[in-house]
Chain A
Amino acid sequence: MRFAQGIRVRCGDPDGLLGLLAEWDRNQATTDVMGYIGTRLLADRDDPGCYLIVAEFAEVDGDLSPAEEAERNNHREETERWVQKLRALVDGEPDWFHYDELYRTGITGNLRTG
């Protein structure tokens, strides 16, 4: 079971958001394996300028749940620095959501299919 952290923001600079996420991923890719496994950035068609960042987490060594891995990630210094950059980029305070994944289409174990 995975865990998803949603961050809903209002932002006039979507390229800035893209850059911020790409920079984060580049840095994460070359560090030790942690709970964070990837992000999606979604634009709200009904509310232009509104975006949803969905960060996904999975188990690492089996000793912590994905949600606990996400919590551990929240307390990392680089995460806190990233959140500061995000706050500087967006309008107002981001809204945060936390979801345990219960179902995903076409997934067997950890495998991406389709």
Chain B
Amino acid sequence: MQPEGSNEAHVPIDEAQLIARGTASAVEPLDGITRAQASLLGAVLSALMGRQIDVTRLEPLGPDALATALAARPLQFRHRIVHHMVLGELILRPIPPEVARRVEVYALALGIDDRFVRIARRYAQGAFGLAWLDLHHSGFAEHWERARKDQLRTRVTLEHQLAAGAEDHDLAERWMGFADLAPGTLGRGVWDMYRSRGFGLPGSIGGASAYLAQHDFVHVLADYGTNLQGEFEVFALIGRADPDPKGFAWLTTLLGLFETGYVADAGFFSGDLRERQLDGIEMHLRIADALRRGQSLCERLGTDLLDVDYHAFAGLPVTEVRAELGVDPKGERAVAAGSVGAFDLAGMSRIQQEYAASIDEGVARR
């Protein structure tokens, strides 16, 4: 469980104002906070703290003043605030070096030595290759060393968990067995999702790694699509639900792949900059809502969602698993902003839609 005072959901309005002022001051470029920064940070403050604050109309607040304001808050709370700052700078393209340095000053004032602050500094410096090595090591590799593996139900040890899966007959059989479960169960839902998109099953050649496949259970449980917008939502939720701040690596990676180009290839996804995903307020609201749901899960479950044994829940109705784990419904604003479900056509990428259309409805591919 998280220490008392860790959750941004219980922040008084005066303190939320100070956080907003400090965050905006930390990430503001020399020519002023950008519209996208203001929109995203405003959406995050609204979703996580329940406070409507116009980030463009705030008095500056320096690092020491912010540190004084948050002195009574536990480390984890201050760490999350630093991640809001990093989020606010990671959507800049390019990141002005003075912003990256300023965020580091704020982080240090708050007593936070954070790897993602360093990664943003590397982006600002133009050291993209080193930044990816840093992100991969600090965000993922160190995390796996501590993570449990038995929930993956595989005996195959991958060189690294983001790599494509290796052949594992028993694991593939287990996933194939989900097809026989009743409609509405978690396992059947994941099976249907794989089938409709033509995804390779874990354990089969070319399939996802058993580790990454864990996030597909979350697609079904949280009801997020599998296009880029849906991936942003699902990994924002997973990252924020992780009690370890390293969970922020997921959102950092997706921003680099699909928004700024700071990450060319992450192993499990390749960069795609054909469309800017975070230009409009809709995705800001959707990501903020996913963070809120993740925050709530972090509070209730206190476990990395990729460590959960979903195979044990596979035969249960999705609604029951949601209740068991404590998955909140989507917020109305996120739904109104276009957050669609895992089984909506609009939640698929163009290629996935084409694949789905090509399937003969009368034949269940096994």
Interface residues of A (CB under 8 A from B): 2, 25-26, 28-30, 32-33, 36-38, 58-62, 108-112
Contact = CB atoms under 8 A, between A and B. Distances in A.
A20 to B, nearest CB: 15
Interface stretch (B42-50, B62-70, B118-126): B118-126
B131 to A, nearest CB: 8
- Interface of A, secondary structure class, is loop
Contact of A26 (B101, B124, B131, B137): B137
Contacts of B95: 110
Interface string B183-207: 0000000000000000000000000
Nearest to A25: B133
Given A26-B137, A32-B118, A58-B125, A37 B97 contact: no
Contacts of B138: 30
A28 B124 CA distance: 16
Nearest to A110: B126
Contacts of A110: 94-95, 97, 124-126
Contacts, number: 57
Interface of B: 93-97, 101, 118, 121-122, 124-131, 133-134, 137-138, 261
Given A26-B137, A60-B125, A37 B130 contact: yes
Contacts of A60: 125
B130 A25 contact: yes
A26 B97 CA distance: 23
Contacts of B129: 25, 37-38
B123 to A, nearest CB: 8
Given A37-B130, A61-B101, 8 more contacts: A30-B133, A33-B127, A37-B125, A37-B126, A38-B127, A58-B127, A109-B96, A110-B124
Contacts of B126: 2, 37, 58, 110-112
Given A29-B137, A33-B121, A59 B97 contact: yes
Contacts of A37: 122, 125-127, 129-130
Contacts of A58: 125-127
A85 B131 CA distance: 25
B144 to A, nearest CB: 15
A113 to B, nearest CB: 8
Contact of A112 (B121, B128, B137): B128
10 contacts: A29-B130, A29-B133, A30-B133, A37-B122, A37-B125, A38-B129, A58-B126, A58-B127, A110-B94, A110-B124
A106 to B, nearest CB: 12
Q: Which A-B residue pairs are the 4 nearest by beta carbons?
A: A37-B127, A29-B133, A111-B94, A110-B126
Contacts of A26: 133, 137
Nearest to A58: B125
Contacts of A59: 97, 125
Contacts of A25: 129-130, 133
A62 B130 contact: no
Contact of A109 (B94, B101, B131): B94
A2 B134 CA distance: 21
B97 A33 contact: no
Contacts of B97: 59, 62, 110
B93 A38 contact: no
Contact of B122 (A33, A61, A111): A33
Nearest to B262: A112
A30 B137 contact: yes
Nearest to A107: B126
A111 B127 CA distance: 10
B255 to A, nearest CB: 15
Nearest to A26: B133
Contacts of B121: 33
Interface core residue of B96, B124, B127, B129 (most chain A CB under 10 Å)? B127
A32 B224 CA distance: 37
Contacts of A108: 94
Contact of B118 (A2, A33, A61, A112): A33
Nearest to B123: A110
A109 B125 CA distance: 10
